[in-house]
Amino acid sequence: MDEHLKGLNKEQKEAALHVAGPLLIVAGAGAGKTKTITHRIVNLIKNGVAPEKILAVTFTNKAAKEMRERIIAEIEKNAKGQEKIPFVSTFHSLGVYIIKENARLLGLTKYFTILDEGDTTSMIKEIMKENGIDPKQYDPKKIKNIISREKGKFIYLADYTEREGAGTMAKIVAQIWNLYEKQKMKENSLDFDDLLLKATKLLKDNAEIRKIYQEKWEYIHIDEYQDTNEVQYLMSKLLSENNKNICVVGDADQNIYSWRGANLKNILSFEKDYPNAKIILLEQNYRSTKNILEAANEIIKKNKYRPDKNLFTNNIVGEKIGLYEALDENDEADFVATKILEILDGEAGSAFSGSLSWAGTPALLLDSSVCETPRKSKSASPSGSLSSPGEGWGEVAVLYRANFQSRALEEAMLRYNIPYQVLGVKFFERKEIKDTLAYLRAALNPDSLSDVKRIINFPARGIGKVTLVKIFANDMENLPIKMRIKINNFYETLEEIKEKIESEKVSAVIKFVVKKSGIESELSSGTEEDMERLENIKELATLALKYDNLQNGAGVEKLLEDASLASDQDSIMINQEKKKEVKTVKLMTVHASKGLEFKYVFVTGLEDGLFPHERHNETQTGEDREEERRLFYVAITRAKEKLFLSFANFRTIFGSRNINAPSEFISDIPGDLFEKEGEKGLLKTIYL
């Protein structure tokens, strides 16, 4: 047997040895899908396929990084002498790559700006104001979501207008959409959806371009295929239609993104799309204990829209699932915090020092929602606090269905001196980071009016809104001479930054931007909060070191691309790249937890109407209910050793204190898998 196939089970080995033709790998949670894809790619290379002929596409930067590192390690071990590696990226990064190589055909320059979610909403809001459309009457974010959803279906403005007819809302959306597209073209910018839409349209409409990429990548691998939308599905099909060497990996039971266009039919119809496809089921779970897996199987088997499969494991039976009935959200949060201390105290042995504080570890300042140096609180405190953060914190995740639930949990983490991080606030979305990156983008793309507008008066240069209007209208001649000098100095600064980008390392460019722009001087003489912002920018320069090996501006391009496409999970990645990572308990929505695993997992808020979630004034379909069940399945399969479920009898939502019934999901799990935690439930309270 080949060395690289050791450690694979029968089904994994069968998938790894498959070479030609379409392949569907149905991989259950924790079934080793990344390992299987990695070994399949290595096997292709060992069978004579040039690494550069292989494409592997994932959904998150974290998954792409992990897969790339595993492939490189396996190539070094089992295919020595190979200098090149496969092209591994996310769908959006792949779109950027194709668009940059064909920018002129799309009326763009190489240095087009990628608008993030916030930039897109801001641009739409500005367009609405300029055209007399009240943002309070028509929510810019809602309009942005409608446009995004349509683009994800491979729908263009003309198609939308024709289909939706003359309804008031449709007319408003169409008008804004039209102006939005014109503004982006004027600014040489694209949004997230354009990265997929324009790249796919190019492949679809231009046979010559399509042939280039079909010949470039003869073997296509698509991870998390159940999460593909119409555009991603079409992109995958177009790239593989020539050779049909497409391998997709996915799990219908983990399809949880229909709200952003993911189409379950893509994986369910794979055999129809590729009649000669080989189907392999990976049902052995390597992550969770038998008890956790049994609960997961019981939950998901109630869904109808799924291929039949039953996960099993050779792991130990493990502990029973902890179930806590809380009085309210504060009691629930209190339980979570004290249980975390109890668990880690048990792991650490004599971890309690009897002191309420430890020597502060310098905060990494990677995320505004990271509380890494615990604080004291005047409210209830534990009898002691851990003497050091230790490794255990990073093995704990607290999951919830809706973002508002994090408030009570955060308060409890602070109250009990537990270092924590809330996923969802990205490092690259901090104002000071966006300001610094805007200087880089504006230097490369002066047409990006959004970036120019953001930084032309930061630090303050006395350039007001009226002046901005004249600048953007090319009417600078009517400005006072002193104002023209200020504006010319600003654009000269951008020119100097561009020269540095083309000649210096990325980390040096960041330092130059901060000094030359005046940001360093502005923040250094400011408040304590300003100093913290400056520290964050310094962290950006440190992060930029990994791009320093790329020459002639390519490093800055890559940094800007990665910053624009950063996901919720990237704050974890940035932490992990630090030599002195401070371990923290992770608080996140279930959606954000996809693809992650933890030793201990708390799933909170298991109440009817919250999880499964009910949308107000919207009729829930059978598919909606099945997705909620899939979401709970994803939540509990994040746990490796111990799972805790909790619900509250009372919860205050939008100022109203509601009485809740436990979630149906709890009763779907066999009672013998549970052990009751605590004694603060409603019945106990009433009878006391």
List active site positions: 33-34, 223-224, 254, 638
Bond into 612 cis (ω within 30): yes
Amino acid at 596: L
Which residue bears the tokens 């308990």? 585
C-alpha dist (Å) from residue 449 to 362, 397, 469: 38, 41, 11
Q: How far is CA 122 from CA 102, 140, 173, 495, 513, in A?
A: 28, 8, 15, 26, 24
3-state secondary structure string across 370-406 = EECCCCCCCCCCCCCCECCCCCHHHHEEEEECCHHHH
Give the Cα separation of 211 and 221 in Å (integer).
Answer: 18
DSSP 523-546: HHTS-HHHHHHHHHHHHHHHHGGG
- Residues 363 and 570: their CA atoms lie apart, in Å, by 17
CB 595 within 8 A of CB 60: yes
User: How far is Cα 43 from Cα 13, in angstroms, rounded to an integer?
Assistant: 10
DSSP secondary structure letters along 494-524: HHHHHHHHHHS-HHHHHHHHHHHHSHHHHHH
Angle between helices 431-444 and 506-517 (to 10 degrees): 100
Are 441 and 449 in contact, with CB atoms under 8 Å apart?
A: no
Question: Per DSSP, what are the bridge partners of residue 601?
Answer: 397, 643
Residues 6+ positions from 588 with CB-CB distance below 8 Å: 397, 398, 399, 400, 422, 423, 424, 568
Q: CA–CA distance from 73 to each of 36, 66, 79, 573 (Å)?
A: 14, 11, 10, 19
Tokens describing residue 371: 């509380």
Are the C-beta atoms of residues 482 and 493 closer than 8 Å to each other? no
Place of tokens 């901005």: 468
Phi and psi at residue 585, to the nearest 5° = -70, 135
Tell me the C-alpha distance between 134 and 170, whole Å. 15
Bridging pattern class, strands 87-90 and 54-58 = parallel
Other C-beta atoms within 10 Å of 244: how many? Answer: 13
> Residue 98, SS3?
helix
Question: Cβ distance 287 to 29 under 8 Å?
Answer: yes
On whether the CB atoms of residues 278 and 271 are closer than 8 A, the answer is no
User: What residue has token string 């942005």?
Assistant: 144
Task: Please list, residue by residue across 588-603, b when 16 or more beta carbons sit within 10 angstroms of its beta carbon and e when fewer do.
Answer: bbbbbbbbbbbebbbb
Q: Rounded CA gap, 628 and 632, in Å?
A: 6
